[in-house]
Structure 1
Amino acid sequence: MVQNKIQAKMLFLKGVENEQNGKLDEAIHFYRRAVQLVPDIEFRLYDASKLKPRERHEIDNSADDLEVGHDQEVDSGSEDDDDDDSDTDLLSHLQRLFSRSMCVCTPHHEQKATHISALPMEIILYILRWVVSSDLDLRSLEMCSHVCRGFYLCSRDPEIWRLACARVWGVNCGGLTPYESWRKMFIERPRLHFNGCYISKTTYVRSGENNFQDHFYRPWHVVEYYRYLRFFPEGLVLMLTTPDDPLSSLGQLRHRIPKNPAMLSGHYCLLEDRVVLVLHRQDSAVKMAVNNRNRGRRREGTQDLGEQTFHMELQIVTYRNRIHAQLVWQRYSVFTRFRNGQENTTTFDLPRNRYPPYWFSRVKSYTAESENPL
């Protein structure tokens, strides 16, 4: 009788492992054999997973002793395999441990309160979707994977990474080929970062006016200003050009609807390793400019600035160990429509000294709260 229970447990755990690997036919075969030996084997294993940590540890050790012969057979057939793919080996090893314990994690100390390990796997995965949030904070998900081996498995759930890839690339996401997994696609495929801001610092020297007392003295001014780009997963982009340093400027880019009238807003499109931006001034800024022009009609020579639309194309570049952390200028033009109906397009040359690249910088306040799950 005891031998039947042990054999039924081994068959049921093999069925669980095959089901997790997508081999449903083999899993059903092992389930049937286990139920024929012990009809209530599933309830017995579920009750065993709810035991105290010390008792569960003893059960796991006994299961390890029973599977020594099986592990030796597997190892003898793969002596020539190398250990380069350590992440895959670790993931498969933790999946085998999880199939034995049937529990995400265990409390280190006995406690009367309900532990998080009592939650079903579906609830924990939903919590992790809130951790990632609609702003795609995958860095926080990776930090959750450091908690324990159960959270490591949950953070590698393919569905979470598939949803993240679909949110980044949309209809252009395609299939997994040539990537091994959705997580590999999200890491290796050129993309934008959403948990921070891209910053470009420009510095140049400008000559000043002669001194009225000394005509041989001409001052020189060092001009320094910043360009900021903030991307959102739904295709919205904000751009701010200001002489203020990042410490005082990054907070203005936190919300999707900015309060600063000098900020440009628009949309972007991701095309392989290029990102195309179309920006325009806010309605409040346009109305303010129209009012200023109306006040200056009495003055002669008032210039019609028109409505401007900015077109930019940037290339996503990996610099050393910083993946997708740099945006390099490729094209920049301004389309202007005047009040009299005339249109004008100005295209700028892009020398590297005048248009330095954007560098990504993570901003903690951007992902401090989650408004919607992934």
Structure 2
Amino acid sequence: MDKVGIGLVGCGTVGSGLVRNLPEANRLLQQRLGVGLEIRAIAVRDPSKKRENLPVQPVADWKSVVSNPSVQIVVELLGGTTESLEVAKAAVAAGKPLVTANKALLAERGAELIPLAQKARVPIYFEASVAGGIPVLKALREGLVANQLLGLQGIINGTCNYILSRMAEEGSDFSSALQQAKELGYAEADDRLDVDGIDAAHKAAILCLLAYGFLPPFPKVPVEGIRNLSAQDVSFARQLGYAIKLLAVVRPVGPERVEVRVSPTLIPARHPMASVHGVFNAVGLVGNLSGPVQFTGRGAGPDATSSALLADLGEAARHLQDKSPGPVLPSGGEKIRLIEPGDSVGRFYVRFEVRDQPGVLAQIAGIFGAEKIGIS
């Protein structure tokens, strides 16, 4: 069997995991899909850095990987949105399918990249960009394709979920839980993407694209992270019968309007998502035919991400061998718009620090009442 040639651009933690898992995965892909994969070129920023068990000698020039005649599929694993966009555009221009785990690229530059790929009829595979080992994008593209989606919500950042789990289970404050996450390798030294909700917002934008054919303008997506949560908030939530989770929400709210947001959310303790702990992820959705569906699993890490990358590579290789066009992104979202943040309707938790004196609560209740906001 002739193997399909792969070119890797970027070989850090995720890329190394892909290289490590490929031999065993290849055996399964050959049995189940009738395709085989072979890494034929790798580009990294520092080829002199010691790396073990690479099948080929890495180079610094990613353009040589994309243009390599033996490379039929380009895998972009650089991260970021600048150089990665150049790699993606070059792959599209060369007519080579692109596989990526880069959620920032798709969420922030997808409006530029996707039309180019569609015009060139070059498929982009990005299962690994959302929720790691949970095949939620494939479920949206295939298993639930006949459903009208009534809404999605997800715990889609393992770092934040780990921190919130430690705060709930051990009574830790935010800083201590964050430091523990860094020591265990669950959080980066620069924790802003995770802790401030940006990573989850990238994934929410991609879920919106698959669910409704609409990629929201990323700067307009309301995002609130967990940095300002206190141990007291977590304790109060538990006393009220709730768990706090960083939740991404994507839902239609009217004709041609959707809400996409990321924020800490109080979830009833009896809800299945309240039982998702540590670095695990969960995505729940409701289809008009399927009813409620929930996926739970490892959302990050080299093995979980490799699972999604290898599934995409197997699908891309089969499409190449069959000379089929590959997956099609949903259409019909051209008229959809985001709602304004002030138009979001829901229930909110508010904690006040006030002087313990008569009349304070009455004053607060009066302010809410004047704005027609009920208190419970």
In which range does the TM-score fall when normalised by the shorter chain? under 0.3
Q: Work out which of the two has the higher radius of gyration on C-alpha atoms and give 1 or 2.
A: 1
Of the two structures, which has the highest relative contact order with CA contacts closer than 8 Å and spacing of 6 or more?
2
TM-score relative to the length of structure 1? 0.25
